[in-house]
Amino acid sequence: MQRVAPFFLEAAWVTLELAVLSTLLGLTLGAIAASAKLYGNVVFRSIATVYVSVIRGTPCLIQLFILYFGGPQIGINLDPFSAGVIGLGINIGAYMTETIRGAIIAVDSGQMEAARTLGLSKFQAVRKVILPQAARLMVRPLGVNINAQIKATALVSAISVVDLTYTAQRYIGSTYKPFEMFILAGVLYMVIITLTGMIVSWLNKRVAIQ
């Protein structure tokens, strides 16, 4: 156990990096696609709609395989880690899109009307009136997305990223202790998820409207 511990810690770090980077990418994509769906013209709206339905309609593992194994055929050569971050980011972005859009829609329509009546442009109204209120509604559901995302990072072991799951499988061969190896990986996942959950709760309290 002590012999493998450093490798597991290193792998836990890789998993955390994957989760953080892909979540940031996903948030960015989600914000762009949600804006496109809500405020964009027909072209942007359609692109965002197709993006969301394709990603949500296919398994994440297939998306990762297409990117990593299929990519080189069309000139996209990515190392496993980058493919993992980009693939997971694109995947969670589709779910973030719906979360962000839902939160924005949930802000009372009278808010936009009041802001526009005062002479604010749509963009100014969204920035100063709608988004600050939507952000508060977003924190909790985004926390749920992120929780799912951390667990989904296990999929990248299938494209040979040396994450927690990959590491556990690798040391089964030399230790003959699959039970312990997978329990150890599971515990480390849980530590990451618990810590993230605490951060989300803290954020949620901070942004609560007085």
Partner 1 sequence: MTDAKPFVEIRQARKCYGDLEVLKNISLKVNKGQIIAIIGPSGSGKSTLLRAINDLDPLTDGEVWLEDTQVNKKLPHKQYENHINKVRQNIGMVFQHFNLFPHLSVRENITLAPKMLKGISDAEADRLAEEQLEHVGLSDRIDYYPSQLSGGQKQRVAIARALAMQPKVMLFDEATSALDPELVEEVNLVMKRLAEEHMTMIIVTHEMAFAESVADRILFMDGGVVVEEGPPEQLFRAPKHERTKEFLAKHLRANALAPA
Part in contact with partner 1 (CB under 8 A); list of ranges 12-20, 60-68, 125-133, 147-155: 125-133
- The single residue listed with the structure tokens 């299938």 is 158
Among 9, 69, 76, 122, binds partner 1 (CB under 8 A): 122
Total residues binding partner 1 (CB under 8 A):
21
Measure the CA–CA gap between 126 and 210, rounded to whole angstroms.
Answer: 20
| Euclidean distance between CA atoms 151 and 165, whole angstroms | 10
Q: How far apart are CA 41 and CA 209, in angstroms?
A: 32
The least distance separating partner 1 from the CB of residue 142, rounded to whole angstroms, comes to: 18
Interaction of residue 118 with partner 1, rule CB under 8 A:
yes
Task: Candidates 52, 104, 129, 168: give the one binding partner 1 (CB under 8 A).
Answer: 129
Find the shortest distance in angstroms from Cβ 137 to partner 1: 11
Q: 131 vs 172, which CB is nearer to partner 1?
A: 131
**Which of 6, 119, 179, 206 forms a contact with partner 1 (CB under 8 A)?**
119
Nearer of residues 79 and 108 to partner 1, judged by Cβ: 108
**What minimum distance in Å lies between the beta carbon of 28 and partner 1?**
24
33-36 own/partner pairs: CB under 8 Å, 24+ apart: 33/93, 33/94, 33/97, 34/96, 34/97, 34/98, 34/100, 34/101, 34/104
62: phi then psi, degrees, rounded to nearest 5? -65, -40
Rg, C-alpha atoms of the chain: 20
Q: Which is nearer to partner 1, 90 or 130 (CB)?
A: 130
* 113 near partner 1, judged by CB under 8 A: yes
Taking CB under 8 A as the rule, does residue 111 contact partner 1? yes
In the chain, % helix, strand, coil (3-state, to 5) comes to 85, 0, 15
Among 13, 21, 71, 136, binds partner 1 (CB under 8 A): 136
31, 120, 162, 200: residue in contact with partner 1 (rule CB under 8 A): 120
Q: Which residues contact 158 (CB under 8 A, 6 or more apart)?
A: 61, 64, 65
- The whole-angstrom separation of Cα 137 and Cα 122 is 20
81: CB partners within 8 A, 6+ apart: 14, 18, 161
Residue ranges in 81-110 that form contacts with partner 1 under rule CB under 8 A:
108, 110
| Residues within the interface to partner 1 (CB under 8 A) | 108, 110-111, 113-122, 124, 128-129, 132-133, 136, 209-210
